[in-house]
Amino acid sequence: MNSILFSGGAKRHVASSKWYSEIIAGKYNAVIFDCDGTLVESGEAHFKSFRTAVRAQGYDLERDWYDQRNGFDRLSLLSAFSGEISGPLDISLAAQQSIEAFISATTAISPIAETGKLVRTLAGTYPMAVGTNAEIEVATASLLAVGLSNYFTSVVSISDGYPAKPAPDIFSTAAQRLGVSSARTLVFEDSPEGVSAAIAAGSDVVQVLHS
């Protein structure tokens, strides 16, 4: 798997086989991972859960439209959808129903092998946290589904009341909970919004690329 390392205002391509050596060479003290698209492949499960929720109110969701907004948090995505349909959408109801639909479909979630391998390699040596735009119950269900829930000291999510990425709060809070400075923390992300959030928090970041 290929990736891009953003560090010190520069960026360069890094193969996943070099991630561990980059962590050592960079003298990082902790590592933070995004969840969806970074630790777990959950795009299909999320799409189906959103589609189930809006169909309950008489609408449909196109896959192309959803894919163009896969870095959005739940309420932002539903708000954007609401702005493009002709009738009313109960956003709060759709959000709750989409969460319930996702949790009931966790068998459709699969691990991303390269990041999962890195988590297990770092276990017991580097403190690790998850920072996600997903709700805590969604992130927990995802991590449990792929057997990674026990590796993280903390999961910081939008449920904690922080603004969604690209705001830096989720990642800066995760670093604080790990007891390290953001500057000595390496973040793994897949979305442009997450990369911007990590940089704004003062961390270096590896953008995981899906080809």
Shared-domain flag, residues 58 and 117: no
The contacts of residue 161 (CB under 8 Å, 6+ apart) are: none
Residue 2 has what pLDDT? 96
For range 137-147, the mean pLDDT: 96
Shared-domain flag, residues 99 and 121: no
Shared-domain flag, residues 90 and 173: no
CATH code, domain carrying 162: 3.40.50.1000
For range 129-149, the mean pLDDT: 96
Shared-domain flag, residues 103 and 115: no
Examine the pLDDT at 76 and tell me if it is beyond 90.
yes
Shared-domain flag, residues 191 and 150: yes
For range 15-30, the mean pLDDT: 98
Residue 91 has what pLDDT? 97
153, 170 in Cβ contact below 8 A? no
3-state secondary structure of 64: helix
Please say which residue of 64, 90, 107 terminates a domain. Answer: 107
The pTM for the full model equals 0.92
Q: Which of 108, 136, 142, 158 is nearest to 38 (CA)?
A: 142
Residue 71 has what pLDDT? 77
**Count of the separate structural domains present in the chain:** 2
Sign of the C-alpha dihedral computed for residues 41, 205, 67 and 61 taken in this order: positive
Distance CA 8, CA 146 (A): 33
CATH code, domain carrying 77: 1.10.150
Shared-domain flag, residues 11 and 56: no
Shared-domain flag, residues 96 and 148: no
Residue 62 has what pLDDT? 95
Shared-domain flag, residues 158 and 55: no
Residue 183 has what pLDDT? 98
∠ at Cα 169 (149, 32), nearest 5°? Answer: 35
Examine the pLDDT at 70 and tell me if it is beyond 90.
no
Tokens of 9: 């205002």
Please say which residue of 72, 87, 107 terminates a domain. Answer: 107
Shared-domain flag, residues 32 and 120: yes
Shared-domain flag, residues 90 and 123: no
Residue 150 has what pLDDT? 97
Residue 175 has what pLDDT? 98
For range 142-155, the mean pLDDT: 96
Domain enclosing residue 199, as ranges: 2-41+110-208
Please say which residue of 57, 86, 107 terminates a domain. Answer: 107
Shared-domain flag, residues 182 and 199: yes
Shared-domain flag, residues 73 and 176: no
